[in-house]
Amino acid sequence: MRKIASLVSFFVFIFLLQGVAQQTTVSSGNLSLLNKNILFYPNPASNTININYSINTSQFVCISIYNQIGQEVISVIKETQKEGTYSYEVNVEKLGIGIYFIRINTGKEFITRKLIIS
């Protein structure tokens, strides 16, 4: 039984490293409105992407873009924000063609979404 649990953990770890997951949400307690109120477009993108989201309480927000091996390639914002709706236009021209991941972390939860640069 112990070996099976280890194998499951191992496969989940590999799954996340390979970048197969399109969306991941982890939260402590109830999910906030962030999960329902995040939008980024266009996807696929070539020059810029727009990231729009709403938060329902004042909290620290960190938005970054990562490559397939987990390196942060663009830091969009890292600051405490008040309740409200936010919009950012991010230049992605310097990124090579491929698959990237946008990660929004509020301290209470994080969301990862797949981004394709064409």
What is the pLDDT at residue 100? Answer: 97
What is the pLDDT at residue 65? Answer: 97
Does 22-117 carry CATH code 3.30.930.10?
no
What is the pLDDT at residue 64? Answer: 97
What is the pLDDT at residue 14? Answer: 32
What is the pLDDT at residue 34? Answer: 56
What is the pLDDT at residue 5? Answer: 38
Asked if 51 and 87 touch (Cβ cutoff 8 Å), the reply is yes
What is the pLDDT at residue 106? Answer: 85
Going by C-beta distance under 8 Å and a sequence separation of 6 or more, which residues neighbour residue 103?
62, 63, 64, 65, 66, 110, 111, 112
Give residue-wise pLDDT tens across range 18-52.
444 344 444 444 344 455 678 899 999 999 999 99
What is the pLDDT at residue 35? Answer: 55
Instruction: Kindly list the averaged pLDDT for each block of 10 residues, start to end, along the chain of length 118.
Output: 37 36 41 65 95 89 96 96 93 95 88 93
What is the pLDDT at residue 2? Answer: 41
**Which residues partner with 84 through β-bridges?**
55
Sign of CA dihedral 33, 14, 68, 43: negative
CA-wise closest residue to 55 among 100, 111, 114:
111
Angular region, 72: left φ>0, alpha ψ -120 to 50, beta rest: beta
Cis bond upstream, residue 42 (ω within 30): yes
What is the pLDDT at residue 36? Answer: 63
Q: Taking the model in full, what pTM does it have? A: 0.70
